[in-house]
Amino acid sequence: MFDTAKITLHKDYQIGEVDPRLFGSFIEHLGRGVYGGIYEPGHLMADADGFRQDVLDLVKELQVPIVRYPGGNFVSGYNWEDGIGPKGNRPCRLELAWKAIETNQVGINEFVAWCRKAGADPLVAVNLGTQGVDAARHLVEYCNHPGGTYWSDLRKSHSIQEPHKIKVWCLGNEMDGPWQIGHKTAQEYGRLACETAKAMRWVDPTIELVVCGSSYRGMPTFPSWEAEVLEHTYDHVDYISLHTYYGNRDNNTKSFLARSLDMDRYISSVVATCDYVKAKLRSRKTIHLSFDEWNVAYHSSEHDQKIEPWLIAPPQGEDIYTFEDALVVGCMLITLLRHADRVKIACQAQLVNIVAPIMTATGGGCWRQTIYYPFYHASRFGRGIALDIRMQSPEYDDPELGMVPCVEAAVTFNPADGTITIFAVNRSMDKAIYLETSGGEFSGYHVLDHITLTHENLKACNTIDKPDNVLPRKNGDAQVKDGLLSATLARLSWNVIRLAVGIAQ
């Protein structure tokens, strides 16, 4: 006997348009993210600029629309000026955030060139730890001003005639965290962010700005940090950032799978805080959310503590992801889709080698981790409009989070091609769940495919030797009958059910 879950939906009941930037990513100068990740001159697959073509192919497959750079904690001690001009003249620096050596062989121009190859826009963070207003406005001038000034002509002298036209910028990174170089109080940061935002916008009024929210929901200063920072910056910024990483440190899968409820509450609290400041300031402007670091991350923490300091590109943060991690990533993607009205940018952290869906072997091949697949499906099929569904599902009790639905789901409707996509995770450890819809919304629809990601071993991984151990399959049983959709969601499974109008071929 199956348990049953029910989705009620209608195409006219909508959360909002899904901003394609919801499927963004992040590359930091950390470990082998840049050096040995996207950039490895001398590798068999490297192009003339030193970028690995095999990695670019996987990135393009993910259709990542925007990539945050260069940090992360790294940015708070980074002099962007070190990374421009002839590579032979660039300094090696002690990199204090990750205790490594930074060679500066990749800087802003190389990163933008890589983004163009990947089909992504850059999302650039400025250093508000050790630098400030001046360095930030100079960077915008160097990147975005057409010419005839010191910094824009310097760019041209570096053989880049056309401005990069970088649209979205982050005002620092995690400035509430004591681990940050140049950590600040909300008041110190709020004032600096406000003045930096003004100067950056005076250089280029078309840019959009992300101000730093808390580093995670558990910070003691959350959410008063958000309120105070926004009171200083409200008129000058467009987004506030959120970051979160989850792990299964106690090996409690049921509780780990429920972590997306924490993410959901975090988003709702930040929305409420933004709107509190809006009301307080009597403003008509709405601040949106940039969830610009999110993922599962914990596998490599112990290993990383043993890494010697002052190495170049050490193998740091190299989490090898399990099947259960992919389910949590699926739940997090569903949560982002369900907040598509306010979350306009989200960056899975990170893209290559560092807590990443794509892994490389230095001098060798590359492969897709388990978490690659839910991201791939959501990025490919989660475009269009997020529908405001109602869910009924069996539940279980989590001591910290309360009642947790066994089925987590989001539905998107793409007006461009008329397709509807249901993303669903069955968290149940022991039962398949029978999913049905109500509303008769699917008259005239047929199932294009019902993709599933399942594995009998929760800890199964993909590795360079076994890259296809955890692989999605088109083996689900979804069907439409009398205008109603039904499907079996296998126990512990990620499901993507795609529907199109017309007669099944």
CA atoms of 407 and 426, how far apart (whole Å)? 5
Three-class SS state of 404: strand
Taking the CA of residue 346 as centre, how many other CA atoms within 13 Å lie in the half-sphere pointing to its CB? 28
List Cβ neighbours of 485 (8 Å cut-off, separation of 6 or more). 422, 435, 436, 437, 442, 445, 447, 478, 479, 497, 499
Taking CA atoms, 175 is separated from 132, 216, 239, in Å, by 13, 12, 15
CA atoms of 423 and 260, how far apart (whole Å)? 14
Which of 395, 209, 196, 210 has the alpha carbon at shortest distance from 291? 210
Contact 131, 193 (CB under 8 A): no
CA atoms of 93 and 79, how far apart (whole Å)? 10
Give, as one character, the DSSP assignment of residue 322.
B
Shortest Å, Cβ 73 to ligand AHR: 4
Taking CA atoms, 116 is separated from 20, 68, 82, in Å, by 17, 14, 22
- Between 73 and 426, name the residue whose CB sits nearer to ligand AHR: 73
Please report, as ranges, the residues that interact with ligand AHR according to CB under 6 A. 28, 71-73, 173-174, 243, 293, 349-350
Beta-bridge mates of residue 367 = 359
Taking CA atoms, 92 is separated from 76, 314, 341, in Å, by 17, 15, 44
- Between 229 and 433, name the residue whose CB sits nearer to ligand AHR: 229
Shortest Å, Cβ 178 to ligand AHR: 12
- Between 98 and 372, name the residue whose CB sits nearer to ligand AHR: 98
Three-class SS state of 292: strand
Shortest Å, Cβ 349 to ligand AHR: 4
- Between 267 and 391, name the residue whose CB sits nearer to ligand AHR: 267
- Between 144 and 295, name the residue whose CB sits nearer to ligand AHR: 295
Shortest Å, Cβ 28 to ligand AHR: 5
Give, as one character, the DSSP assignment of residue 241.
E
Shortest Å, Cβ 354 to ligand AHR: 6
CA atoms of 327 and 458, how far apart (whole Å)? 10
Which of 225, 219, 262 has the alpha carbon at shortest distance from 240? 225
Task: List the catalytic residues.
Answer: 174, 293
- Between 27 and 139, name the residue whose CB sits nearer to ligand AHR: 27
Give, as one character, the DSSP assignment of residue 43.
S
Residue nearest ligand AHR by beta-carbon distance = 72
Taking CA atoms, 430 is separated from 27, 407, 419, in Å, by 38, 13, 32
- Between 174 and 264, name the residue whose CB sits nearer to ligand AHR: 174
Which of 306, 357, 358 has the alpha carbon at shortest distance from 36? 358
The sign of the dihedral angle between the CA atoms of 15, 19, 25, 27 is negative
- Between 315 and 394, name the residue whose CB sits nearer to ligand AHR: 315
Shortest Å, Cβ 417 to ligand AHR: 35
List Cβ neighbours of 185 (8 Å cut-off, separation of 6 or more). none
Q: What's phi and psi for 51, nearest 5 deg?
A: -90, 135
Shortest Å, Cβ 284 to ligand AHR: 32
Neighbours of 380 (CB within 10 A): 15
Which of 202, 74, 179, 184 has the alpha carbon at shortest distance from 126? 74
Shortest Å, Cβ 57 to ligand AHR: 24
Shortest Å, Cβ 77 to ligand AHR: 11
- Between 72 and 83, name the residue whose CB sits nearer to ligand AHR: 72
Question: Tokens representing 58?
Answer: 């996987």
Give, as one character, the DSSP assignment of residue 81.
G
